[in-house]
Structures are given as structure tokens and as C-alpha cells.
Amino acid sequence: MLNKKAITHTHREALNRKGADKILSVYWFAVLFLVASGVFGMVYVFYKYPFDVREMEGQIITNRISECISHQGVLASEWIDNSDGTESTREKIKIRDKCNLDFSSEFDNEQYYVRVDFYDMNNFKIETKDETEKILSSPMKTIFDGNENLKSDCEIQTKKDFERQAKCFEEKFYAVDEKNNHLIIKITSAVRKTEKNAF
Amino acid sequence: MHSKSGQIAETTTWIVATLIIIVILVVSLYASSEISESARAVNAKKSIIFLKEKNADLLLKQSLFGFLITKNADGKTIYQSIAEKNALSDDEKSLAKDVFVNTNSKENSIAISVNGVQSLLTEKEFSTRGNKKTESMKINPGSELKIILQE
């Protein structure tokens, strides 16, 4: 049999638990809000920036041009036919037509630039300074196509990448011409499309 | 008195739990921002773990074709020379060095291998870390030429 004091104590404890439950339910809402905002934040941070595919696009263009100008390691004579190797020549030709590339895009201005430099391997020299490579030799011939304004974007990004500039991709490979001359061919491709790819 | 100490214990538990939740959320936010940054720039080098064996280097293959079609001092192509001797001469190795070192970054380690006999073309040796690319060409049923490149 419980006395009066014991009953009062039990009653007070029950009331305390009720109060604690109320505070806990508020706390649970606060935790729920915290977790929900965290999940929202994570999704927002992950999908905030667009995927930048320009470098990959530049790489694909470079690969396509290399396949187009060199067939199984032999350079077709049409690419360097008017170069005697003594003087560096520069020529704008429709590489896009010769290599079946489509330079059209959803933008009004031209968004692509491609350049192919042909070097004689016997006179080919590279200097490496501050982790950047610089070709010291002059090319025998240079051919290019597309928006020439993007050329400067590639030149200023040799050390650091800038998001709002066109993305450039450079690769070199070796080929021989029909006279067994050893050539180093450097392909540079630039893709602008800044508005769609850079944040 | 008992009820008060019970409340203190309960409150402490929830404060600690809240702190743990906040820490987990902050770590997850930081991780998603880092992953997003690396996934945002799509290129072959960064996507190497996804591409795996599809990561063929077309330009390295082009250089390999060019090297094999080059005529040596005897007027034979290097392809024919390897097919006959099953090995590379010193002049051919020197040409291979000019070809593959000039067309790739100086930071790379490059080796040429004929039938498993490997010759290093660069001063930098291969390390246990770093992605290796291999382009190979079957010369005849008995011999194979490989170019191994490590970035």
C-alpha cells in the first residue's frame, strides 16, 4: 500500500516525463530539419556545376585529325606537298572538310580551333622549364582551321587552366612521309563553349 | 534528485548525438563537394578508373605504326627487321628513343620491348605507382613489340 508522499512523487515523475517528451519531439523536428538540409546541401553542391566535357571533346578532335592525316604511320603527301622544309609556311585550310569534322554548334560564333604543326624530327628540340614544355624548333608547315581568336586562349594556359577560357588539348605523334622523312606532328585543338561548360 | 541526474544524462546523450550528426553532415558535404569537383572536369586522365582497358592511346599507336614503317640504314622497314632478327639493333633503339621521347612528356617513363626483352628509353625508371599504358603489335607468331608508358 502506497503512502501519500510516494503517490505525489510518482505523479510528479510522470509529469516530468511528459515535459521531457514534448522537448524531445521538438528536438526530433530540429534533427529532421538538420538532416534534410544536409541532404539538400550535398545534392546542391554535387549538381551545382555543369560537367565540363571540353577537354574530352578536344581529345576526340585530336584523335580524329591524327587518323585523318596519318594512315598507319604514313603521312599523305597532300598535307605537306608545297613545303620544301627550308621555310616555315602557314596556311588556313578546311581541315573540317578534309577530315569530315562538323564544327557547327548551338552558338553563333565558331567554337572550335584546330592547328596542325609539322616538324622535321632531325631538327626537333624541346625545352622543359617550370614543368612546361616549349618546342624550340620552327615547324616546316602549319595548317589551321576554325576560330583563330581561340589560339591566344591556348597560349595563356600553358601553366594554369582558366575556367572561362577555351579548353585546349595538345598532342604529338610520329609519322613518316612517302620519302621516309621523319616527322613529328603536333595537333592543337581548342573548344570554347564556355557558357555551357564553365560555371 | 534522481530524476534531475537522469535528465542531465539524457540531455548529454542527445547533445553528443547532435554533435555526431552535425560532424557526419559536414564531412558528407565536404566529400560531395570534392567528388563533384573531380567529376566535373571530364577528361581521359581523370576518368581513368572508369575507362580501364578502354584507355587506349591512339596517338601512341600512331607513333608505333610510324616507327615500324620507318626504313633503317639497310633500306628495310623496322617491322621487317624485327620479323627477321626478333630483336632491335642499337640504331633502331636510338630511333625509338627519338620517336617516343619527343612525342611524349619528359616526365613519363617509356620502354620498348621485343619478345619480353625490355629496353628503357628514358632516364626516369618505372615506379610501382602511376598508370601504365601499353600498345603492342604482333610482328609474327613468334614476336611481339610493345611500348610501355608510365605517366
* Interface size, chain A vs chain B, as Cβ–Cβ contacts under 8 Å: 122
**Are B24 and B78 found together in one domain?**
no
Judge whether residue B80 has pLDDT over 80.
yes
Residues of B in contact with A66 (CB under 8 A): 58-59, 62
**Are B2 and B40 found together in one domain?**
yes
**Are B49 and B69 found together in one domain?**
no
For residues A24 and B7, the answer to whether their CB atoms sit within 8 Å is no
Q: Which of B16, B21, B23, B32 to mutate to test the interface with A (most CBs of A within 10 A)?
A: B32
C-alpha cell at B56: 587506349
- CA distance linking residue A145 with residue A198, whole number of Å: 24
- Distances in whole angstroms, Cα of residue A5 to Cα of each of A8, A11, A43, B35: 5, 10, 57, 63
Predicted complex: ipTM over 0.90: no
- Distances in whole angstroms, Cα of residue A82 to Cα of each of A57, A86, A117, A144, A165: 31, 11, 14, 15, 34
Mean pLDDT value of segment B75-104: 87
For residues A153 and A198, the answer to whether their CB atoms sit within 8 Å is no
- CA distance linking residue B113 with residue B88, whole number of Å: 9
Give the tens place of pLDDT for each residue, B2-54: 567 777 887 888 889 889 999 999 999 999 988 887 777 666 555 555 555 55
For residues B122 and B109, the answer to whether their CB atoms sit within 8 Å is yes
Give the tens place of pLDDT for each residue, A127-183: 877 777 788 888 888 999 988 888 888 877 766 677 678 888 889 999 998 888 899
Q: Which chain B residue has its CA at the smallest distance from A70's CA?
A: B62
**Are B28 and B102 found together in one domain?**
no
**Are B104 and B122 found together in one domain?**
yes
Residue A20's pLDDT band, with cuts at 50, 70 and 90, is: low
Q: Nearest CA to CA, how far is A90 from chain B (Å)?
A: 22
> Which is more confident, A89 or A62?
A62
Residues of B in contact with A11 (CB under 8 A): none
Q: Nearest CA to CA, how far is A148 from chain B (Å)?
A: 24
**Are B48 and B70 found together in one domain?**
no
Mean pLDDT value of segment B104-124: 84
Look at B65 and A171 and tell me if their CB atoms are within 8 Å.
no
**Are B41 and B65 found together in one domain?**
no
> Which residues span the domain enclosing B127?
58-150
Quote the mean pLDDT of chain A.
81
**Are B44 and B77 found together in one domain?**
no
Quote the mean pLDDT of chain B.
82
Question: Exposed, middle or buried by CB within 10 Å (0-12, 13-18, 19+), for B90?
Answer: exposed
Instruction: State if pTM tops 0.90.
Output: no
Q: Which of B10, B25, B69 sits opposite A74 (nearest CB)?
A: B69
- CA distance linking residue B101 with residue A132, whole number of Å: 15
Report pLDDT for A107: 81
Q: Which chain A residue has its CA at the smallest distance from B7's CA?
A: A20
- CA distance linking residue B83 with residue B145, whole number of Å: 10
* Residue A84: CB atoms within 10 Å: 9
Percent pLDDT > 70 in chain A is 82
**Are B139 and B69 found together in one domain?**
yes
For residues B62 and A66, the answer to whether their CB atoms sit within 8 Å is yes
For residues A59 and B44, the answer to whether their CB atoms sit within 8 Å is yes
Name which of A16-20, A65-69, A110-114, A185-189 the model is least confident about. Answer: A16-20
**Are B69 and B99 found together in one domain?**
yes
- Distances in whole angstroms, Cα of residue A183 to Cα of each of A134, B39, B106, B118: 17, 37, 19, 25
Strand duo A141-146 + A89-92: pairing: parallel
For residues A117 and A172, the answer to whether their CB atoms sit within 8 Å is no
**Are B63 and B133 found together in one domain?**
yes
**Are B74 and B22 found together in one domain?**
no
Q: Which of B15, B34, B53 is the last residue of a domain?
A: B53
Helix (H, G, I), strand (E, B) or coil at A133: strand
Residue B144's pLDDT band, with cuts at 50, 70 and 90, is: confident
CA angle in degrees (0–180, nearest 5) for A133-A138-A142 = 100
Radius of gyration of chain B (CA): 28
Q: Which of A50, A133, A171 sits opposite B106 (nearest CB)?
A: A133
User: Considering its fold, how many domains does chain B have in total?
Assistant: 2
Give the tens place of pLDDT for each residue, A39-48: 999 999 888 8
Backbone angles phi, psi at B101, to 5 degrees: -75, -40
- CA distance linking residue A170 with residue A157, whole number of Å: 12
